[in-house]
């Protein structure tokens, strides 16, 4: 399962499916038809069938999906059955907001350490997360066995910090900087550019047709 290759677009939809299944399970729903599921996640039923086909047979024809079974399956796939430790580098406005966002309240993602070069922020604690000087990066990441990092440094520092992350053994970077960072093939980067997401939304607003209303764009 760990080596399974699935399309990136599919991988991006898995958390949506997982979150919706959690809502269903919390509401005590035991079973859901594929069309209800599609309506709930606002994804085309054919796309869902194609996504699910990467994992074998997940539903039964004429029955739909067993909520608990499917939830358990995605929990495992998304590693939500174990805590993933994460660090954040760059405690500016965005970094600060993400530390306060507290991923761990709803998910098994825990930000365990933050790093910065600014003496004004180094040594402080934000929502129980200690801000270390950047010089402590390698030491702390290795000591705490952290392999995933959220990068919220200024654009100019993005590559230098990335190189330090790689040297410290980081395997996954959530890159909030607008820079396309260079990493070796063993490291996975997820780029999150809030400005371009907003620009895309504005583009769709200005070019929408009636049949696009109420749809989700990936």
Check if the beta carbon of residue 170 is closer than 8 Å to that of residue 148: yes
Partnered with residue 133 across adjacent β-strands are 116
204: DSSP letter: H
* Options 58, 86, 134, 183; binder of ligand ATP; rule CB under 6 A: 134
148-151 vs 65-66, strand pairing mode: unpaired
Residue 195 near ligand ATP by CB under 6 A: no
Residue 170 near ligand ATP by CB under 6 A: no
Question: Which lies closer to ligand ATP via its Cβ, residue 91 or residue 183?
Answer: 91
Place of tokens 């109420």: 214
Question: Which lies closer to ligand ATP via its Cβ, residue 93 or residue 186?
Answer: 93
**Token pair listed for 54:** 């990467």
Place of tokens 């054919």: 46
Q: Identify which of 83, 82, 10 has the alpha carbon closest to the alpha carbon of residue 47.
A: 10
Check if the beta carbon of residue 122 is closer than 8 Å to that of residue 144: no
Q: Give the binding range for ligand ATP (CB under 6 A) out of 67-75, 154-162, 189-197, 205-213.
A: 154-162
Question: Which lies closer to ligand ATP via its Cβ, residue 124 or residue 216?
Answer: 124
Question: Which lies closer to ligand ATP via its Cβ, residue 59 or residue 95?
Answer: 95
Nearest distance from C-beta of residue 200 to ligand ATP, angstroms: 19
Return the CA Rg of the chain: 20
Check if the beta carbon of residue 12 is closer than 8 Å to that of residue 218: yes
Q: Give the binding range for ligand ATP (CB under 6 A) out of 26-34, 51-59, 113-121, 194-202.
A: 113-121
Q: Give the binding range for ligand ATP (CB under 6 A) out of 47-55, 148-156, 189-197, 200-208.
A: 148-156
Contacts with ligand ATP by CB under 6 A lie at 89-95, 115-118, 121, 134, 152-154, 157, 161
Give the annotated binding-site residues: 90-95
């Amino acid at each position: 399962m760990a080596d399974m290759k699935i399309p990136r677009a599919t991988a991006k939809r898995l958390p949506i499916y997982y979150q919706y299944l959690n809502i269903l399970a919390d509401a005590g729903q035991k079973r859901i038809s594929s069309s209800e599921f599609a309506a709930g996640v606002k994804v085309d039923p054919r796309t869902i069938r194609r996504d699910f086909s990467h994992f074998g047979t997940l539903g039964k024809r004429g029955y739909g999906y067993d909520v608990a079974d499917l939830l358990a399956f995605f929990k495992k796939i998304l590693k939500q059955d174990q805590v993933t430790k994460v660090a954040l580098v760059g405690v500016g406005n965005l970094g600060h907001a993400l530390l306060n966002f507290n991923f761990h309240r709803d998910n098994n993602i825990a930000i365990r350490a933050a790093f910065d070069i600014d003496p004004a922020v180094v040594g402080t604690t934000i929502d129980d997360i200690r801000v270390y000087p950047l010089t402590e990066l390698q030491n702390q990441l290795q000591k705490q066995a952290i392999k995933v990092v959220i990068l919220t440094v200024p654009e100019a520092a993005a590559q230098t910090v990335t190189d330090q992350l790689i040297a410290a053994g980081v395997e996954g970077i959530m890159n909030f900087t607008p820079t396309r960072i260079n990493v070796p093939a063993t490291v996975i980067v997820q780029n999150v550019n809030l400005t371009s997401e907003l620009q895309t939304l504005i583009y769709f607003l200005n070019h929408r047709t009636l049949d696009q209303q109420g749809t989700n764009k990936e």
